[in-house]
Structure formats: structure tokens, C-alpha cells
Structure 1
């Protein structure tokens, strides 16, 4: 007889900080009687809600879209090592961060908590007798969420698929029962295979439903969410035809339309010197929004942890490299709409004062002059957006073009221009690029411009060859430290957390970079 899971206990596993996140343990029973009850339990046990924390924490500190702001005095009691450790790619980053009092750094367990919830739902629903459509809705969501969780886990803790798919990924836990033995890590290829299996089953189930139940703006997963994720997965696997096919399914979905940034005002009529910013992760604000998820603090805590000054100046800013990327194509409306500025002024590379571009954007922020990220009921930090489908299609077709398919190059360029006209003023002039490699580079940069601060850049850098990254850190007012993540550095794959290794003796740690990683010190 199937083991029954206590959902109240699962909640304690997810939110109570218990380390044994793979194995729920029962001491009494609460058994859902119908699929509708399971559908509601999904929200509490498996969804990445606006209150759910721990997902991709500090990920935004790793890539090249962020750099340190000019030195700021920390708040009393704050230890800068909590953000220095991930920002400088220290292999002992968990140890350093915990020493500062930051104990909510376990991304690994956060995603396995999601998987635990989906497994419990899928195990329970086998014995439920109910309307087939409701059953299929529940199963489709569970498979979609499990595929999404494993996709993030394997791209955080496993090597890129196109680099070494035989390398160790993460353990596959596909049921809610207690295992007789500890779980070894599956290979990256095996994890990707399971992701595809889950997402393809979710797609099949969604397609069995009436059309009006395949997507609703209700914060739940959907057919287009699954198809966009499949496009992303195939892109990472370099299965270009499949990536393009699934991206096109999303583009052709009549529920979504590209948002014309010309319609988004950046100044308030009554306060012409006070810009306004839009929360793009919202069904109400954007016709591009497919699915919303995630907690605000996961995205902004480390990049907006403020100094002792009354203005609350952030320790990080958008990198000059990112800001220059917008300037490569003059007139790009995203530079002012996607990157939130702080009132604090800095001297830019042209020796001009400018309001500091912050290392986040597209989020819900306060209307004050300091634009502090704000959370609340129904405010999410991330979303799946239609724009990604356009860029996935462009990249996939451009790669097919480089392989010799001239028609694919034509389609990539046409799709690129169809997309970009919504990001530039009405006098936008189409790009005309004939060289396949130049087209790929342009699309990579376009992806950077469009998807900045949305958990894409780090993963993209990994699959595009893991180029060298340099991060500047200011330990005091007079010194500068420059840390280098070398090309193909082990630091491009996160180490497994210490508590996961302690709980599972069969887990093997990833190859580690030197600890500590030293920076090149200069005087200002």
C-alpha cells in the first residue's frame, strides 16, 4: 500500500528549515479525498509563490551584469562577507555566508522541497476518483513544476549540458516514499531526460483539456508555460529545431502579445524629474506575461542590501558592460525602462554624474526617490515572458543558419526585427546582418538586453562557453580588489551545500576552485 504523506509535515519540511528534504516522515494521516483538494494543496506544497523564498538566491551576483558600486559603509551589524562570498565566486561561499548569520542560502533544499510536493501530489492522485479534467489539471501542474525545479537544480549544480552531459548532475527523486538507501547523483544527461519526460507529459495533459483551461492568468502553470520551458530546455541541449518549434508555439498563442515600450511612460507628468517604473512580472501590466513566480527578496536582497547612509545606497549596480550593451543600438528604450535608477549619483566612465543604474529592474518598486524593491500580496519577482520565445527562436534559427541552412538565417533575422520594433521608437530601422557568426553574436547581446536580471544571464554564459568574468570589489574607501573567474573555471558550477553532503553520504562534491579565491589588490 502506498505510503501516505502528511501535508502538514511537508509544510514544516519546506518552511521549518529541516535539512532532510528528500524524505518526508509520517506520524498521522491527512488524506485528500478529491482532485480539487489536491489542486489547492499544490499551491502550498509545490508552487513557487510570492511568499516562497530560497530560489536562486545570490544568482544575480555571479554574472557580468552586476558590479560593485562605489564603496559604502555597511550598516551596523551587517557583515559584507555575506555578499562578497558569492560575488567573488568563493568555493566555501556557504561557510562564509553562514558565518555572517545568513542561514537561508540553501537553494538546493528549496528546489527539492518543490519536488517533494509534486511527488506527493502525483503519488496521491493515482487513487483519486474524480472528473478526468480536474485530475489532468493537477497532474499537468505537478509535472511542469517538477520539470522546472530539476531544470534549475541541474543548471546550478551540474556542468552545462553542451559541455559534459556525462558529468554528475543531481539526484533524481521521483516518488514521495522513503528510500531504502541514500541517493547518488544522476548524470546531467539523465536529469535532462527526466525533465523532458516530465514536461512532455505535462504538455500532453494540458492538450487534453478544453482550450479555455490550457492557460489562465491565475499564477498557475499552463500549456504555453510548459512549451516555453521546453523551448528553453532544447536550446540548452542545442537541439535547435525543437527549440525553434516550441518557441513558435508560444509566439503563435493568441493570449500573448509583445508590449510596445513606446507606450510605457518613464516620467510622471506632475514630477518630470522623477521617473516611474513598471512591474513587468504582472498579468495586468504586460500582455507578454505567461507565468509569474518567486519572492522579491530572492532577487533583490543581495543587490539592494543598503549602506549606513540615510539614502540607503546599494552596494551593487548594473555593470558598465551591460549599460554599454544597450548603447550598441542607439534608441533602445529598454535602457531607461528595464534598469531602475537610484537617486544616488555616481561618476560614469565619461566623467559625468548620473543616477546610479541599479542591479535589478522590471520589478515592483516604491514610488520614493530611492526606488526600493517592495513585496506584498500577489507581487512576484520573476515571470515567463513572450519575449523569451522570440529570442529562443532567433538563436535556434541562427545556429541552424551557421550549420548551412540559409533559410533559417532569414527567419532568424525576420523574427529579430519583428521583436525589436517593440523595443525602439517608431522610426526603428531593421537590422541587416548576413554573416552567420555576427548574427549569433547580435542575438546573444539582444538576449542580454532583453532578459537582464531575470535569472538567464548566468545560465547563458555557462552554455555559451563560460568566458572569463572579472568582478571589482571595494573592501574599503582606498582599495580595490579584482576577482577573476577564468574561462571554464570550476566556479561556473556551484558547489553542493555542506548540509546536503552531510545528510547524504553518497553525494559527491563538484570539483572546486581554489579556496579562498584571491583578488588582485590595487589602491584607489
Structure 2
């Protein structure tokens, strides 16, 4: 107990300067000597627990899987600008949201706060004299988390790696001490190099542990989590062989198997959704993390409108991507429906498809997202490993004429889809390399919808044009356009980060406010 109290004092000293993002206090003279206590420090200060908010919040408003729901009047005290600003890619979105009363959108600060916790653990662990396996486990977790946080940061605030790896990324802060000077932004390439250094060292440390300690369903990072993240990083870097190799390591891990959607008890008249981000609900889950509110706050807000329905819904483009003729089960099992009825593009009345999915929901009238003990908003899932390997092999087939890689991509694609369709599923047979790549990209959209992948994927696949429709009133429509290769594909740094660090350079910004084309009904 005494040591735990000392830890609380240490954390207060270390993290007292978190408001400065990159300038924490130096280490206390009270250095802990126990690896298990260090484990608790890691859990308390570096993990994206289910009670930690502000991670990737509002990113899901940026992509093409979301569109506006029919117009609704606001409740008194609500300000539509809180939703409008990110949805229309305004370069001054932070200021607009702040004026609208939204104060928990600082993704930049949220990630650096957790990085600070990981750095503190890595600094202290050198002074620990304890069981070597426990020490290696703590170090591996801290490195895995730091690598993951920097991966997200650089893909939010830096250019896509395959577009301009020499562009400014984010500052690399790799210790918990006070810097002699403010930190400049490292390049995207430098950040990716550090991410790989952290993840490869984490992998080495995990592989030094006994097999039964390399993965457990205990909410901690693990060897397969690191390997799946490495496959994702190499995919973004277009290092196809390594991406496929690491994805296959996860696929071959006997702890996981694809969840057969045919086995889920599902009545379309009264859907019973499951939480796909749960070790107990899904055989695919490798690691769970994050808060349910972060996933749903802007796309599900029952207080937004007088009728208690959200501003947004799943886009028609996403809904049409599911092969209804072949019976794609994901359209109903992954997309949560509202009780609010709308008329769709086919002039059919249907329960509105919500712009979120796979999260825990109550069986209430509105299928309200719910959190609680052991309930998380996101996860690393086995299906991503399949899709990473599919894409990497398909690219090897196209770029190097590797027909065996093309066949492997098709084999894994059909293996995944077997678990997503009825028993009479007809396998795909695609011989054209470009057609195969396009189909895999579409499959990735269907399988990973609303899981923080789409925006990043659109960036690395060429930053296509996106149009978002907004209803400012009951009779008008505004269409906002994110142009191909638009500057808006890289988010601006928040103003308070710039104020606290004079060496930070802002990203090039599109004109603000972004213009939209207005029409009246």
C-alpha cells in the first residue's frame, strides 16, 4: 500500500504539466522498485482505457461512410456548428466547435498525454530490479502503446506516407524529462521510423516471453497486437512483403478465428446486436481499447434534435456496397438501425442506418450506445489481418507480376467472405489485378466500417473527392466538397498546441470557411 501511495505522488509530479503536451515534470527522487507496480502505472497512465476519451473523436465525420440525416430542429441550447464544422472540413473547425460549446475534441493533447505515460514507464523501468519476464512485458507494452499513438498522430496531422514522407509529421517526444528547448515537428518519415523501432523492439521483447504470456484476454497489448499493427504500418508504407508476412503471422495464431456471422441469432424485425469489440462475444478480438462515446458522440446524440434522433446516418454509398443479392450478412449485423424511419434512395421506407456500428447498444427503442465495465469502443480484429494480407498480395501481383501472390489474395478474400455470407456463398474469381485491388479495397470498407480505418485508407489510396450534404434548415441543402488531394485530408494542429510551442508549424490549410453549394427545395 505504501508503494502504491508513492506511485500516486510520482504520477502527480510527472503528469502535472500535461497541459503543456510535451513538457512534463522531471522524475521524482522516489523511484519505484517493483515491476508489478510499474505495470499498474502503465495501465493507469498509458492505456487507452474505456474511460479515456478524446481519441479520434469526430474523425468518423470526415469520410464517405457518413452523410446527413433528414433535417431536424434543434433542442434549445444545442448548436449545430459543433457537428457542421468537422463534417464540412472547416480549417477553423476547432474554433467553431469551441464557440459551439464543445471542449473535448483535442485529439493532439489526448495522445500526447498517453505518450507521456508510456515514456515515464520506459524511463523508470531501467531502474527496476525484478523478474526479467515481468520487466520485458512492461517494456513491450509501453513500446507497443507509444508506437500505436504516434501512428495515429502522424496519420491525423501529417501527410500520407506514400504521398509525401518528407512533409511535417508530429514532434517526437521519447522521454519524460524536461526538454531544454521546444520541439519541432519531425517529418512523416522520421515518425514512421520511430514507430517501427518501437514496434519491432516490442515484438522482440514479447517473443522472449513464455508462449502463454505473449497473448492473454486481459485488455493488454500483446505479440499478435504488435504484429497486426506492424502489418498495418508496412501496408501504409507500401512495403507489401512485410505487410503480408506480419498479417499472416496473426492469421496463423491459434488464439483467434473468424467469427461466423451465420451463428449470430439475428431477427431483422427486432435486431439483437452484439458487441464485436469483446473477448467474450467475438473469437476475432486481439485487443480492445477506447471509449464508446468517442465512437458515437457526434453521430449519435439523442439530445441533438427535438425528436431525439442524430444529425447523421450511414451513407447510401456504404449501404449499397453490401451485396444484398448474395446476402451479405454485414449490412444488418454491422450497421445499427435507429427506430426513426426514412425513405431511402430506392424510395423505400426503412429504419435509418446509423453512422456507427459494432458497439455495445441497449435494446431500447433507439438502440442507444452504452458503455460500462469491460465495454470498449474499438478493437484490433483478426479480419483486418486477412484484409491487410489480401491487399499486400494483390499489390505484389500488380506491381511485380507475382501470380502466386494474386492467388493468395483471392484465397484469403474468399476465406474471409465465407464467414460473412450465407452457406450458399459463391466464391469470387477475379483475374484482373486492378479489379482485384478495387474489390479488396471495397471489402475493407465493408468489413471495417466505423472502426477508424476509412479516413486513413482514403488518404493513402489517393485522397479522392468526397461530397457531404448538410441541411441548414427545413428547405435548404448545402453540398460541401473535399477535392481530390485536398489540403483538408490533413487536419490542422489545434490552436492551443501552437500557442504552447512556438516551434510548431501549422499545416497548409484550405480556405476557411470552406464554401459549399446551396440549393433550396
In the superposition, the TM-score normalised over structure 2's length comes to 0.96
TM superposition shift of 1:263? 0.5
**Does 2:468 correspond to 1:464?**
no
Q: Aligned partners of 1:244, 1:26: CA distance in 2, in Å? A: 41
**Does 2:369 correspond to 1:373?**
yes
Per-residue CA distance 1:458-510 (angstroms, 9 max, x = gap): 00000000000000000010000000000000000000010010011111000
Q: Aligned partners of 1:132, 1:29: CA distance in 2, in Å? A: 23
Could you say which residue in structure 1 is the equivalent of 2:61? 61
Q: Aligned partners of 2:145, 2:397: CA distance in 1, in Å? A: 33
- 2:418–2:425 contact (8 Å) kept in structure 1: yes
| Greater mean deviation of Cα atoms: 108-117 or 328-337 | 328-337
Could you say which residue in structure 1 is the equivalent of 2:509? 512
The correspondence for 1:277, drawn from 269, 273, 279, is 273
Q: Aligned partners of 1:335, 1:135: CA distance in 2, in Å? A: 45
TM superposition shift of 1:212? 0.2
User: What SS does the aligned partner of 1:83 have?
Assistant: helix
Could you say which residue in structure 1 is the equivalent of 2:484? 487
**Does 2:38 correspond to 1:38?**
yes
Q: Aligned partners of 1:481, 1:88: CA distance in 2, in Å? A: 10
The correspondence for 2:11, drawn from 7, 12, 33, is 7
- 2:224–2:250 contact (8 Å) kept in structure 1: yes
Could you say which residue in structure 2 is the equivalent of 1:386? 382
- 1:5–1:29 contact (8 Å) kept in structure 2: no
**Structure 1 residues 328, 443: CA separation in 2 closer, same or farther (over 3 Å shift)?**
farther
**Does 2:162 correspond to 1:146?**
no
1:291-330 mapped onto 2 (5 Å cutoff): 291-306=287-302, 311-327=307-323, 330=326
Could you say which residue in structure 1 is the equivalent of 2:230? 230
- 2:26–2:177 contact (8 Å) kept in structure 1: no
C-alpha RMSD over aligned residues:
1.5
In the superposition, the TM-score normalised over structure 1's length comes to 0.96
User: What SS does the aligned partner of 1:19 have?
Assistant: helix
TM superposition shift of 1:29? 5.2
User: What SS does the aligned partner of 1:471 have?
Assistant: strand
Q: Aligned partners of 2:304, 2:205: CA distance in 1, in Å? A: 53
User: What SS does the aligned partner of 1:472 have?
Assistant: strand
**Structure 1 residues 437, 347: CA separation in 2 closer, same or farther (over 3 Å shift)?**
same
- 2:27–2:177 contact (8 Å) kept in structure 1: no
TM superposition shift of 1:330? 2.6
**Does 2:198 correspond to 1:198?**
yes
Q: Aligned partners of 2:13, 2:362: CA distance in 1, in Å? A: 36
TM superposition shift of 1:406? 0.8
TM superposition shift of 1:19? 2.4
Q: Aligned partners of 1:60, 1:27: CA distance in 2, in Å? A: 38
The correspondence for 2:470, drawn from 466, 470, 473, is 473
- 2:13–2:28 contact (8 Å) kept in structure 1: no
User: What SS does the aligned partner of 1:94 have?
Assistant: helix
**Structure 1 residues 329, 397: CA separation in 2 closer, same or farther (over 3 Å shift)?**
farther
Q: Aligned partners of 2:197, 2:305: CA distance in 1, in Å? A: 51
- 2:163–2:460 contact (8 Å) kept in structure 1: yes
Could you say which residue in structure 1 is the equivalent of 2:86? 86
- 1:73–1:307 contact (8 Å) kept in structure 2: no
Could you say which residue in structure 1 is the equivalent of 2:329? 333
- 1:94–1:497 contact (8 Å) kept in structure 2: yes
Per-residue CA distance 1:245-298 (angstroms, 9 max, x = gap): 00000000000000000001222xxxx732110100000000000000001111
- 2:16–2:24 contact (8 Å) kept in structure 1: no
**Structure 1 residues 30, 397: CA separation in 2 closer, same or farther (over 3 Å shift)?**
same
Q: Aligned partners of 1:184, 1:359: CA distance in 2, in Å? A: 37
**Structure 1 residues 239, 5: CA separation in 2 closer, same or farther (over 3 Å shift)?**
farther
Q: Aligned partners of 1:522, 1:457: CA distance in 2, in Å? A: 29
Per-residue CA distance 1:82-107 (angstroms, 9 max, x = gap): 11000000000000001111111110
Could you say which residue in structure 2 is the equivalent of 1:290? 286
TM superposition shift of 1:312? 1.4
Could you say which residue in structure 1 is the equivalent of 2:47? 47
**Structure 1 residues 223, 308: CA separation in 2 closer, same or farther (over 3 Å shift)?**
closer
Q: Aligned partners of 1:478, 1:250: CA distance in 2, in Å? A: 51
Could you say which residue in structure 2 is the equivalent of 1:25? 25
Q: Aligned partners of 1:152, 1:482: CA distance in 2, in Å? A: 29
**Structure 1 residues 130, 191: CA separation in 2 closer, same or farther (over 3 Å shift)?**
same
Q: Aligned partners of 1:221, 1:286: CA distance in 2, in Å? A: 17
Q: Aligned partners of 2:250, 2:441: CA distance in 1, in Å? A: 20
Structure 1, unmatched stretches of 5+, are none
**Does 2:103 correspond to 1:99?**
no
**Structure 1 residues 494, 86: CA separation in 2 closer, same or farther (over 3 Å shift)?**
same
- 2:154–2:191 contact (8 Å) kept in structure 1: yes
TM superposition shift of 1:198? 0.1
TM superposition shift of 1:327? 2.9
TM superposition shift of 1:74? 1.5
**Structure 1 residues 108, 122: CA separation in 2 closer, same or farther (over 3 Å shift)?**
same
Could you say which residue in structure 1 is the equivalent of 2:220? 220
Q: Aligned partners of 1:329, 1:438: CA distance in 2, in Å? A: 20
Could you say which residue in structure 1 is the equivalent of 2:436? 439
* Aligned residue pair count: 513
User: What SS does the aligned partner of 1:8 have?
Assistant: helix
